[in-house]
Amino acid sequence: MARDNTLYQRRRPLMQAELDAIPWFHLLAPEERLRAADDLKIAEAAPGDFVCRVGRPVTYWFGVVDGLLKMSADNAQGQTMTFTGVPPGGWFGEGTALKREAYRYNIQALRKSLVAGLHVDTFHWLLDHSIAFNRFIMNQLNERLGQFIAAREIDRMTNPDIRVARSLATLFNPALYPNVGQVLRITQQELAYLVGLSRQRVNEALTTLADQNVIRVEYGGLRVLDLAALRSHIFSRESGS
């Protein structure tokens, strides 16, 4: 929500249902909730809109209330590397907000999305006043570290089925994305963007996973039938590749 971004111009206060969808909001004490609710803003991002850009200074800590975002960066060769997707319930950029530094990645909407933002000054105020908020941020940082280690591993994998399985497993992380539940609203084309494969190849990988009763492809999304099996499937397939 930088000031030269149309998202900033479209921002508005959150409705109660939108506040209720924020996973850390109910952890706050009454005074802290009032401070956060007064500061929180939300805006609708159109497909292709940038929420954050490399090199821009941090002004907000962001979260997805509805929709799907993509986190990526360009390497020295000008190729785009996708780190992960951010589904509903996911909040990101806490490391950047903690250090008040410029973004080192781009965040872009893959579809129409509702993105909430907490100003970085209020973010630091909550860190200074709320033990529960501190614990939430510490857990976020810990889970994020594991996520980025996994993303580097995925980027080096040559087996497309494993790439799709690993990417799906990260999107069903209940700590980082508690609002996803068992059904992820995502199209095969959106998943292809996140994984870096063609839509046809992603479809083949999903068919394999569905045949093994690990997931079920539903209208407009994917249902995980056994998350533990999905994760163990990843390593068993890799060891046999």
Tell me: the pLDDT tens digits for 175-210?
899 999 889 999 999 999 888 889 999 999 999 999
- What is the C-alpha separation between 18 and 13, in angstroms, rounded? 10
pLDDT tens string 81-139: 788 899 999 999 999 999 999 999 999 999 999 999 999 999 999 999 999 999 999 99
- What is the C-alpha separation between 123 and 54, in angstroms, rounded? 21
- What is the C-alpha separation between 186 and 95, in angstroms, rounded? 27
Ordered structural domains, the chain, with CATH: 6-151 (2.60.120.10), 158-239 (1.10.10.10)
Q: Are 27 and 99 in contact (CB under 8 A)?
A: no
What pTM was estimated for this model as a whole?
0.84
Token pair belonging to 67? 């929709």
Closest C-alpha among 157, 168, 155 to residue 205: 168
